[in-house]
Amino acid sequence: MQMEKQNQTLIVYLDGELDHCSAQSIRRLLDGCIKDGEIKNMVLDMQELTFMDSSGIGVILGRYKQIKDKGGRMMVRNMNRQVERVFRLSGMNQIIETM
Amino acid sequence: MKITNQMEISFLSIPENESFARVAVSAFAVQLNPTLDVLADIKTAVSEAVTNAIVHGYCDCMGMVKIEAILKDNGMLRLVVSDEGCGIENVEEAMQPFFTSQPEKERSGMGFSVMQTFMDQVEVMSEPGKGTRVTMEKKILAG
Ligand SMILES: Nc1ncnc2c1ncn2[C@@H]1O[C@H](COP(=O)(O)OP(=O)(O)OP(=O)(O)O)[C@@H](O)[C@H]1O
Ligand SMILES: [Mg+2]
């Protein structure tokens, strides 16, 4: 998983599969970054994310809440069709901006 | 309808087997020549059912998760994912969107909704203390 810092925004390039098995390590990595006082906003780039299930919804919503509590914005971009269907089904598209 | 193919696998309830289950079932379903979207639907539903067996059924222990798959000559794929874990007290409640017994683990309660959306039919049979059996069907039109 690659990351890139642009001023107050962290761009996270998710890759591989986001399921219950991979959730824990992704969660830990993202939480470490959110603790960084300089980071306010987060962009999740899903170009290289090949699969996501409901475990991914939990991971994204959890990080969304933390970012929101810091007064920041969370955005997602480049979802494939499978990922987007799961994303929409959960209603996340109504609270998280798509770029 | 005639059964044209059938398979059965069982594996230990460790998270690493979630991707194994997705790959195994999609490799079996591919003989019906499904579109990539349909294959993705099947993988997603399998992932949900298997993950539930691992994280809820065998919550604090280990056990075997079983998948049976049947193909019929009308293009119907039937999947049965079962565990011999803790079972579900109230199936109707468990299947409600956003119902989860593990909010503290950041579960969103969307697993059954995903299965119902991505497959044509989902049926859950469960007995507390005995285990859970999720039967899913999807008609596969060759792509
Ligand atoms: N195999 C199972 N054994 C025991 N309980 C189960 C099983 N499958 C589901 N449940 C119960 O049904 C509830 C709803 O399952 P569902 O998959 O919809 O949501 P979740 O797993 O809690 O969250 P998510 O799938 O979004 O991560 C679970 O919280 C659990 O209480
Ligand atoms: Mg679930």
ipTM attached to this prediction: 0.94
The CATH architecture annotation of domain A2-98 reads 2-Layer Sandwich (3.30)
Domains, in order of start, for chain B: 3-139 (3.30.565.10)
pLDDT over 80 (residue B18): yes
Q: From CA B133, how far away is CA B135, in angstroms rounded?
A: 6
Do residue B18 and residue A21 have CB atoms under 8 angstroms apart?
A: yes
DSSP-assigned letters across all residues of B112-140: HHHHHHHSSEEEEEEETTTEEEEEEEEE-
Q: Work out the burial of residue B131: count CB atoms within 10 Å of its CB; fewer than 13 is exposed, 13-18 middle, 19 or more buried.
A: buried
Question: Which residues from A are below 8 Å from B108, CB to CB?
Answer: 54, 57-58, 61, 90
Contact yes or no for B113 and A62 at CB 8 A: no
* B chain contacts of residue A64, beta-carbon cutoff 8 Å: none
Integer Cα distance of A24 and B46 in angstroms:
20
Amino acid letter, residue B6: Q
Q: pLDDT for B49-94, tens place per residue?
A: 999 999 999 997 999 999 999 999 999 999 999 999 999 999 999 9
The pTM of the full predicted model, rounded to 2 decimals, is 0.97
State the DSSP string of A30-70: HHHHHHSTT--EEEEEEEEEEEE-HHHHHHHHHHHHHHHHT
pLDDT means per 10 residues, chain A with 99 residues, are 93 97 96 89 97 98 95 96 96 93
Q: pLDDT value at position B143?
A: 64
Q: What letter represents residue A66's amino acid?
A: Q
